[in-house]
Amino acid sequence: MTPTAFYPPDLEAWWLAVAGRRLRLRDPKTIAQRLAETAGRLSDAFTVGRQANFSDCYADPLTVAAYGNYFFPQTYVRARLAVGELIARCGWSPPAGRPLRVTDLGGGAGAALIAAVDLIAEQFSQTQFDAAVIDRSAVALKLYRHLTRDRRKRHLFKSAAVSADLAAPAAWPDLAPRDLVIASFSLGEAFYGKPAAAVLDWLAAMREKLTASGLLIILEPALKETAERLERLRDLIVSAGGTSRWHLWAPCLHEKPCPLLAGKKHWCHEVRHWPVPPTVNRINDRLRRSVWDLKYSFLALGTAPPPAAPGAADGDPRRVRLLTPAVSGHGRLLLSGCNAAGEHADYDLLKRRLDPLTAKQFARLQRGEVVTFSAIEQLGGSCQYRCVGLTPIC
């Protein structure tokens, strides 16, 4: 489990208190039981049951409490993981000498924004923040205001809650160009049923809203439908070419056409373990969903290209984003991934060559992690490799 996958107890307590007040209950177990059914309904609305009329997470006090106690933590940790990768793998850092301008689009109560701010403050302790949440829901914006007011002492924080349509950036009130924009589980909702061209137009308008080194992170559910929509969008961005196009920072390690779209066997998404907070666990006691893994697809785009990856040259098939964890079979460990050469490739390694420490390292690898094998050799089939240098460098 990566240290990034962390949900702060103070946020858990804050949302539990919101639920307690709204439901006039005190006991955490009873609160969780009351929230379970609504959390299940919301869960379906956000993922499998996505429809033109997405369920409103702020429709009534029970729904707000279910969102805050069940989904807010998941959004928070997903956003931490995505921002964490951009820092650790891509070398992103906040600008020096002025506050980081960060915006959460369709941010609701600001889970993704607060996660990004917390993580960046942990890793770059001098950072100050100029934050904005944009959402169409007045209830969500009010929750965001209350939550940031209650946590303000934690970070140097200027904060705005903006009521606007995220799909129409030209109509937003004036905000200084942003360094980091996150749209978590909101873009698919705002553009539901609209053609890819509409999202491309939006992306073009969004470039004007970012600084010359700005980043846009889009998080969406891990469903095949939603992940492939991001894959197609990513291919359209790459094929558009030109100097004013977006650059891919993550998840892709290359700018060739998405090999997963061609193959149809896998779709690009992350599956990450996290320490499930007690309240999520209690709610899930009734729901029995697979909350132990956080699943999501994402796309991180930069107005400038990412810095060169350390440890492997561009197009190097040793560098790979995993599409599976390591699976054991016939004296070998098998992994599948999307590599920096733009291939959907299979990797194996012989167990007899593994020392116990390396075996443990491999066993811990999760879908979506990026590793660089120190040495590989090509096997008979195309896109099939054997790892002979056995150190995965994460």
- Residues near ligand SAM (CB under 6 A) are 46, 57, 71, 75, 106-108, 111-112, 135-137, 140, 165-167, 184-186, 189-190
CA distance 276 to 291: 7
Q: Among all residues, whose Cβ is closest to ligand SAM?
A: 106
Shortest distance (Å) from residue 325 CB to ligand SAM: 25
Shortest distance (Å) from residue 155 CB to ligand SAM: 20
Shortest distance (Å) from residue 142 CB to ligand SAM: 12
SS3 360: helix
CA distance 180 to 230: 19
Residue placing its CB nearer to ligand SAM in the complex, 136 or 145: 136
Shortest distance (Å) from residue 344 CB to ligand SAM: 29
Phi and psi, residue 19, nearest 5°: -60, -45
CA distance 89 to 43: 31
DSSP string, 156-172: -EEEEEEE--TT-GGGS
Shortest distance (Å) from residue 17 CB to ligand SAM: 19
Residue placing its CB nearer to ligand SAM in the complex, 165 or 225: 165
For residue 317, give every residue at least 6 positions away whose Cβ sits within 8 Å of its Cβ, in sequence order, or none: 339, 340, 341, 343, 345, 376, 385
Shortest distance (Å) from residue 59 CB to ligand SAM: 11
Residue placing its CB nearer to ligand SAM in the complex, 186 or 336: 186
Shortest distance (Å) from residue 72 CB to ligand SAM: 6
Amino acid (1-letter code) at residue 172: W
Half-sphere exposure of 354 (CA within 13 A, CB side): 18
User: What are the helix and strand counts (H, E) for the chain?
Assistant: 12, 14
Residue placing its CB nearer to ligand SAM in the complex, 201 or 314: 201
- Could you tell me which of 217, 210, 204, 209 has the C-alpha nearest to residue 244? 204
Shortest distance (Å) from residue 165 CB to ligand SAM: 4
Amino acid (1-letter code) at residue 370: V
Contact predicate 349/332, CB 8 Å: yes
Contact predicate 294/274, CB 8 Å: yes
CA distance 353 to 389: 10
Shortest distance (Å) from residue 166 CB to ligand SAM: 4
Residue placing its CB nearer to ligand SAM in the complex, 56 or 346: 56
Residue placing its CB nearer to ligand SAM in the complex, 111 or 280: 111
Residue placing its CB nearer to ligand SAM in the complex, 167 or 365: 167
Residue placing its CB nearer to ligand SAM in the complex, 78 or 234: 78
Phi-psi domain of 70 (left: phi exceeds 0; alpha: psi -120 through 50; beta: other): alpha
Residue placing its CB nearer to ligand SAM in the complex, 179 or 220: 220
